[in-house]
Structure 1
Amino acid sequence: MPEIAQTYDFIIVGSGSAGSVLAERLSASGRHSVLVLEAGGTDRRFFVQMPLGYGKTFFDPRVNWNYRAEPDPGLAGNEDHWPRGKLLGGSSSINAMVWIRGQREDFDEWRDAGNVGWGYDDVLPAFKALENNEAGADEWRGRDGPVHVSDLTRFVHPLCGRYIAAAEELGLRRNADFNGASQEGVGVYQITTRDGRRMSAARAFLRPAMKRANVRVETHALATRILFAGKRAVGVEYSRKGRSCQARAGREVIISAGSINSPQLLQLSGIGPGELLQGLEIPVLHHNSNVGAHLQDHQGINYTWKARTPTLNQNLRPWWGKLAAGSRYLLLRDGPLSMSMNQGGGFFRTDPSQTRPNMQLYFQAFSTVLPRPGERPILSPDPWPGFSMGLSNCRPTSRGSIAIRSNDPLAPPKIVANAFSTDHDVAEMLDAVKFLRRLAATRAMSEMIEEEVLPGPSIASDEALIEDFRRRSGTVYHPVSTCRMGPDAAGAVVSPRLEVHGVEGLRVVDASVFPSVISGNTNAAAIMTGWKGADMVLEDV
C-alpha cells in the first residue's frame, strides 16, 4: 500500500525553471503550504555551479535524463541526444545560461491566438520584476529581482570583437541588449551567473523558499500519476527510494516537469490521446489529442575554422592551461570557466523581406572537432587554434510529438522531433549556413582564418550543404508546446490561466504551455511563465 503523506495546499511536480519560481512565490506569504517533488537530486555539485562545467553534465545520468529521440529522417536518420535536467533547478542547472526573452511579436502572437494576458506588454513587467540585470535598469531591464543577469562584455575573448566587426561588414548592427528595444543585430550574450557561479532557478528561487517552514522539497521523488476524485485533482502518487508514496493537495496540483515529462505525466494519469492510452491499458479520464502533440524545437549547427591566432583551445587544452584556468576560477571566480561557451551571438534575417529576425547566431572562441567519448568536449578542445560560428532557427514550422510507450513511469517516452520536415525549414537553414560563410569571408574574419575544417570547402553545392546540415544538426535543447495553452480545448491542453482543460484543480506551468516557440533561448521565458503562473494561482485561490 502507498504511504500516505500529509496534505499540502499546493503540490508542485518538478523543481525546474518554472517549478522553482512557483515554490518561492506561492510560499512567500506564509499562508500556504507547498510540497515540491523532484525526480533528481541536489544541485550542489561543482560542475553544476561552475558555469563552463555544464559540459561535464551533458551525459551525466546523476543530473540528466539523457533522453534520445527517435531516428529522424530530417537528421539523416540520427537519434538525437536530448539532455534534460534531473536535479534541483531542472534544465536551468545544466543549460548554457544565455538570457534571451524572445521578440515582442512572439508574445503578441500568443495573445492574438486567444491567450489573454500573454502579450508582450503583459509579460514585460514579469520579466523586469524577476531580473537583476548587471547592466542596470531601464525601460526593458529590471534591477531588483532574484535572477542575476551578468554583462560579460569586458571579459570575452578578443576574437568576439572580430566576429562583431565581421557582422557589421555585412550590414548587421551592434546590439548591446538583445532583450531591449530590438533583438536584431550582434553582440555579447548576457548570461545567468553571479560571482562566477551559475544562477539557476534553484539558486534564485528554490533555495530561498526551502528556508521556510511551509515548504517541503522531496528529492529522488518520481511522480507516477496524478490522483483524482472524479475529475478533480486531489494529489500525487510518487516513487521515492523504492517506496510508493502519496501526497494530497488541498488546493491545486501543478505540473512543472517540462516539455517531455509534463505530457508524459498527464498521459500516465489518463489525460491524453484516448486511443494511445487505451492501447496501453490506462483508463481514459479525459481524452485530449493535444497532450504531447505540437512539439516545437530549435535546430542548430556549427561551422568550424582553424585560426591563425590563438583561441581558447590553447588555454583549455593542455594540462597547464587547465590548471591555470581552474586555479583562477577557484581563487577569483572569473576567467573562461566562469562563462558560457557561447560568448558572442545575435539575430539576423536570412531574407531582407522577413519582417523580423528568423535565425540566431552563436560565436565560440574555441573548437571541438575531436570529441572525447562520453563527454561534451567543452573542456577538451582541439589541439590546434580553432573557433566555431553556429546558428539555430528561431521559428521552425516542423512539428513533433511526445508519447508514452507503456504504463511504466520509468520508461522513457517516445520523442519524435520531425526536424527539417518542412520545405520552409530546409530553405531557411540553407540560406543561414551560406551566411556563415559570408561572415568568414569578411575582411575582419578572413585575416585570421587558416582554413575551414567543418564542413570543409568541398561541401559547396546546395545539395551538399543540405545533406551536411541534416547529418550534423541537432536540437539546441528548447522543446516547447507539448501542453500548449489556448482558449479552446479542441486545440490546446491548458487554458490561458494554465488550467488543464477538462479537469479541475490541475495546472501545467512550464515551457510545455508555450503556444509557439519563442525566437531564442527558452529559459528566461520559462521562468517568466512560472512567475505569471504563480500570480494566476494566487489570484484564483
Structure 2
Amino acid sequence: MSEQFDYIIVGAGSAGCVLANRLSADPAVRVCLLEAGGSDASPRVQTPAGTITLYKSKVFSWNFFSTPQKELNNRRLHTPRGKALGGSSSMNSMIYIRGDASDYDRWAEQGCVGWSWADVLPLFKKSERNLLGQNPALHGTLGELLVDRARDPNPLSALFVKAAGRVGIKANDDFNGGDLEGAGIYNLTQKDAKRLSAYRAFVAPVSDRPNLKVLTGCNVQSLVFEGTQVRGLNLLQDGQPVTLNCSREVILCAGALGSPQILLNSGIGPRAELEAAGVPVVCDLPGVGKNLQDHLDGLVTVRSASPLTLGFSWGSLGSILASPFKYLLQKKGWLTTNYVEAGGFARTPLAGALPDVQFHFVPGYRSHRGRLFEWGHGYAVHTCVLRPKSIGELRLSPQRELEIDYNFLADMDDAKVLIEGLKLARKVLADSSFDGLRGKEMLPGAQVQSDEQLMAYIREYAATVFHPVGTCKMGVDAMSVVTPQLDVIGVQGLRVADASIMPTLISGNTNAPCIMIGEKAAQMIVAGKVTNPATQPTVVPA
C-alpha cells in the first residue's frame, strides 16, 4: 500500500493536531495525520477524573521507564506518554500554563530568532478561547482551545490557596496574566465539564475535510530518503507494512521521546551511537537525543480522617455513588476533578527574581506506596524544580531500544532547590487553615527534618512530573538539531515541531507551549520559510 500526501504529520498530540488543522485549511494541499495509538472515545479519557486511570494504562499510555538513575538510588522512573488521538493532552491534568515570558526571551537570546515572548504571545492568543474575561491584551477569545475555571473544586483547594497566602505566597487568579508567581486554582482546557484535548479542539471539528486524512494504529519505522531529501516514511499500521509518500514535508510531532527516536532509527543522529546500534548513517547530527530536561518532583502526602477530601471510605460512599448523577445532571462533583486543582509558583531562599518551584496541590490522598488507590483520605503537595540544571539524554541501545537517561541531580543545585521547595510546601500545610483536617504526614514523614534526611528522601522517592523536552534542540550551535524554522539540519523536507525542540525547559506545564509550537510551525510553513544553508553540517550519503 502506498499513498501520496503534501504533508505528513507524525503524532496527533498537542502540536500535531494544531498543524493538521492549520495546514488542511488550504483545500489545495493533502494532509495526513498519523497516530500510533487509537481512539480517544472512552469515558476514562473524556471525564476529567479519569486521568488517574490512564498513566499506567496499556491502551492509552506508552509506559516507558528510564535507565537506572544513579543519583536516585538507581531507580528506574516510570515515564508515561499519551497513546491515543490527542497524545498526552488526552491523559494530562488539563492545566493551562504558558510559562514565564523570560523563558521565551531566553530562547531568542540563544539565537532562536522569532521565538521571543513578543513573537509567541500572538500565537498563544490565536489558539485560545478564554472564557474567564481575563486581560484581552494577554488572552485570546476566538481560538479553538477553551480555557475555563475548574467546575467544582474541592474545598481543600481553596484552603491551600488561603494557607499559601498566610505564609507569604500571594494569591494569583491568572498564572498567564503577566506574573507567574503566587498560588491559585488552575485554569483548565475543558468544555462542558469534559476534557478538551488538542484532538477534540483542533481536529475533530474539521475531520470532515476531504483533504485531511487521520490514521491511527501507525508506528513509524523509518523515514524514506532520496539522497538527503525526505520523500515519505515506512510504518506499520495495525501490524501491516505501509509506505506513505510526501511531496513537501514530513513533520515529526511525536514528542520529546518519539521524535528523536524516529530520527535515530532513520540514521539521523550521533554517528558513533548509530553505528553501535547498527543503523546506517544518513546524517551525522550529534545533538539528536541530547539535552533532555524534565521537572524533578518531590511529594508531601498527609493522611486525614476528613471525608471532605477525595478518597474511598465508608464516609464518602454516598458522594461516590452520587457522583455519576451529579456529573451528568449538574456537571459538578468528584468526576469533574483534575486532581491537581490548585497550586502555584513560589520562590525559595535560593531563588532570584523569578519563582524556582511549582506546586501541584491534590485534595486527596496520594499513596505513600505508589498505589493507584488507597483506602481512606488525605491531601498532598507535589513540588517540582522549575529550571533544572541537570541535563540527560536519549540513546538507542545495541538492540535499537530507546534508553531514557534523565541524569537527575547531576547538578546538585537541583537537589538544593527541591529541598527548600519541600520545606516551603510543609510550611503551607502547617498553617492553621488545615488544623481541622490535619493527620499524619506519611511522606517524607515527621522523622525526616534535616537537609541530609530530605536529601535521602529525594533519592528514594523523587520522580519526574512528566514534562520531558529538549531532545531535538532548536538553535544555531553545534548541538542543535533543528533551525529556528524547525527544519532538521542536514536534510531536506523534514521538520520537528513538539516539546523536543525547546532549547530549555519552560517554567510550568508543557501542553499550552506545545500547542503554541504547532501554531508557530504552521505559520512558518505557510509563509514558506527556508533553512539557512550555512547551518548545514556535513552529510553522509545514504
The answer for the alignment partner of 1:486 in structure 2 is: 475
Tell whether 2:360 aligns with 1:362.
Answer: yes
Separation (CA, whole Å) in 1 of partners of 2:99 and 2:515: 13
The answer for the alignment partner of 1:534 in structure 2 is: 522
Separation (CA, whole Å) in 2 of partners of 1:295 and 1:43: 28
Q: Is the 8 A contact 2:264 2:396 kept in 1?
A: yes
Q: Is the 8 A contact 2:99 2:508 kept in 1?
A: yes
Question: How far 1:181 sits from its partner (Å)?
Answer: 1.8
Separation (CA, whole Å) in 2 of partners of 1:28 and 1:480: 29
Deviations along 1:244-287, one digit per CA (max 9) or x if unpaired, are: 11111111110110000100000011100100111122111111
Separation (CA, whole Å) in 2 of partners of 1:360 and 1:315: 28
Question: How far 1:159 sits from its partner (Å)?
Answer: 1.6
Unaligned stretches of 5+ in structure 1?
none
Tell whether 2:455 aligns with 1:461.
Answer: no
Question: How far 1:353 sits from its partner (Å)?
Answer: 5.2
1:501 to 459, 483, 489: 489
Separation (CA, whole Å) in 2 of partners of 1:446 and 1:181: 34
The answer for the alignment partner of 1:441 in structure 2 is: 430
The answer for the alignment partner of 2:307 in structure 1 is: 310
Question: How far 1:319 sits from its partner (Å)?
Answer: 4.8
Letter in 2 for 1:450: G
Letter in 2 for 1:144: L
Separation (CA, whole Å) in 2 of partners of 1:271 and 1:280: 12
Letter in 1 for 2:462: S
The answer for the alignment partner of 2:419 in structure 1 is: 430
Separation (CA, whole Å) in 1 of partners of 2:168 and 2:409: 28
Letter in 2 for 1:497: Q
Corresponding residue SS for 1:428: helix
Letter in 2 for 1:404: L
Separation (CA, whole Å) in 2 of partners of 1:323 and 1:74: 44
Deviations along 1:446-497, one digit per CA (max 9) or x if unpaired, are: 4532332222111112111111122111011000000010023x12000000
Tell whether 2:388 aligns with 1:396.
Answer: yes
Tell whether 2:51 aligns with 1:62.
Answer: no
The answer for the alignment partner of 1:147 in structure 2 is: 145
Corresponding residue SS for 1:165: helix
The answer for the alignment partner of 1:50 in structure 2 is: 47
Letter in 2 for 1:424: D
The answer for the alignment partner of 2:280 in structure 1 is: 283
Letter in 2 for 1:354: G
Tell whether 2:325 aligns with 1:333.
Answer: no
Question: How far 1:32 sits from its partner (Å)?
Answer: 1.0
Once structures 1 and 2 are overlaid, which stretch shifts more, 137-146 or 116-125?
Answer: 137-146
Percent identity of paired positions between Structure 1 and Structure 2: 38
Separation (CA, whole Å) in 2 of partners of 1:182 and 1:232: 44
Deviations along 1:297-338, one digit per CA (max 9) or x if unpaired, are: 001122112336433335787554332112222333322211
The answer for the alignment partner of 2:97 in structure 1 is: 100
Corresponding residue SS for 1:75: coil
The answer for the alignment partner of 2:498 in structure 1 is: 510
The answer for the alignment partner of 2:408 in structure 1 is: 419
Distance 1:314-1:475 versus aligned 2 partners, 3 A rule = closer
1:236 to 215, 223, 233: 233
Letter in 2 for 1:388: A
Distance 1:364-1:279 versus aligned 2 partners, 3 A rule = same
Q: Is the 8 A contact 1:16 1:92 kept in 2?
A: yes
Corresponding residue SS for 1:73: coil
Q: Is the 8 A contact 2:222 2:233 kept in 1?
A: yes
Corresponding residue SS for 1:391: strand
1:262 to 247, 259, 262: 259
TM-score scaled by length of structure 2:
0.94
Paired residues in the alignment total 527
Letter in 2 for 1:25: R
Question: How far 1:518 sits from its partner (Å)?
Answer: 0.2
Question: How far 1:52 sits from its partner (Å)?
Answer: 1.2
Letter in 1 for 2:296: Q
The answer for the alignment partner of 2:32 in structure 1 is: 35
Separation (CA, whole Å) in 2 of partners of 1:536 and 1:176: 33
Unaligned stretches of 5+ in structure 2?
530-542
Question: How far 1:401 sits from its partner (Å)?
Answer: 0.8
Question: How far 1:406 sits from its partner (Å)?
Answer: 4.5
1:387 to 348, 372, 379: 379
The answer for the alignment partner of 2:168 in structure 1 is: 171
Tell whether 2:309 aligns with 1:298.
Answer: no
Corresponding residue SS for 2:231: strand
The answer for the alignment partner of 1:135 in structure 2 is: 132
Question: How far 1:105 sits from its partner (Å)?
Answer: 0.5
Corresponding residue SS for 1:74: coil
The answer for the alignment partner of 2:341 in structure 1 is: 343
Q: Is the 8 A contact 1:366 1:381 kept in 2?
A: no
Corresponding residue SS for 1:431: helix
Separation (CA, whole Å) in 1 of partners of 2:209 and 2:467: 32
Question: How far 1:407 sits from its partner (Å)?
Answer: 6.4
Q: Is the 8 A contact 1:100 1:522 kept in 2?
A: yes
The answer for the alignment partner of 2:512 in structure 1 is: 524
The answer for the alignment partner of 1:204 in structure 2 is: 201
Separation (CA, whole Å) in 1 of partners of 2:357 and 2:427: 15
The answer for the alignment partner of 2:247 in structure 1 is: 250
Separation (CA, whole Å) in 2 of partners of 1:210 and 1:509: 21
Q: Is the 8 A contact 2:97 2:508 kept in 1?
A: yes
Separation (CA, whole Å) in 1 of partners of 2:158 and 2:366: 21
Deviations along 1:19-58, one digit per CA (max 9) or x if unpaired, are: 1111000001212100112111111111011111011111
Distance 1:368-1:396 versus aligned 2 partners, 3 A rule = same
Distance 1:49-1:474 versus aligned 2 partners, 3 A rule = same
